[in-house]
Amino acid sequence: MAAHAQQSIHLIEIPTDRLPLLVPSATIAEVINVGALSPLPLAQPWALGVTGWRTKAVVVISFEALLAGTITMPGPRSKIIVFYPLPGANHGDFFGVLSTREPQPHVIDNNTDLVPNTAGAVESDYVAATVKLRDKTLLIPDMGALETMFYP
């Protein structure tokens, strides 16, 4: 039984207007309610603004805008998923991704639950893979590409 527990992977599904994202739960610092977003002058369209979180200014992005240029604005059920800083970033460079609603946890106990979805693959510099988790198609973001975009 102990060996079985060691093989479990804890993932978080982040709902978006397009396809949900799937990320390791260890990359997420906290899920927060959407508050006031302060605009960023001269920012890229995917940067929705900055929100305050635990005495830090956190840039909030629309992943949909990265994929298709369609900006998603916060709705009544939206959440901000605050991510830990990416490798190579400063210790305090947290960032947030807008979610259309509360994220959902998943525990994968074996590799058969999560399989590549080549038929419905999304081609983007910011998507590492398109996968199927049971009967749902999800996107795994390319954190290396996000790092390059955030910190050129």
Tell whether 109 is covered by a domain.
Answer: yes
Tell whether 1 is covered by a domain.
Answer: no
Q: What is the mean pLDDT of the segment spanning 124-148?
A: 88
The CATH number linked to 28 is: 2.40.50.180
At 5, the pLDDT band (50, 70, 90 cuts) reads: very low
At 7, the pLDDT band (50, 70, 90 cuts) reads: confident
Residue range 79-127, pLDDT digits in tens: 999 999 877 667 678 999 999 999 999 988 766 677 877 776 788 889 9
Tell whether 5 is covered by a domain.
Answer: no
User: SS3 sequence, the chain?
Assistant: CHHHHHCCEEEEEECCCCCCEEEEHHHEEEEEECCCCECCCCCCCCEEEEEEECCEEEEEECHHHHHHCCCCCCCCCCEEEEECCCCCCCCCCCEEEEECCCCEEEEECCCCCEEECCCCCCCCCCEEEEEEECCEEEEEECHHHHHHHHCC
Residue range 39-56, pLDDT digits in tens: 988 888 889 999 999 999
At 33, the pLDDT band (50, 70, 90 cuts) reads: very high
Asked if the model's pLDDT at residue 6 lies above 60, the reply is no
Going by C-alpha positions, the residue among 93, 83, 66 that lies closest to residue 32 is 83
Angle 86-111-81 (CA atoms, 0-180°, nearest 5)? 30
Asked if the model's pLDDT at residue 1 lies above 50, the reply is no
- Report the percentage of the chain scoring pLDDT > 70: 90
Domain count, the chain: 1
Asked if the model's pLDDT at residue 36 lies above 70, the reply is yes
Tell whether 44 is covered by a domain.
Answer: yes
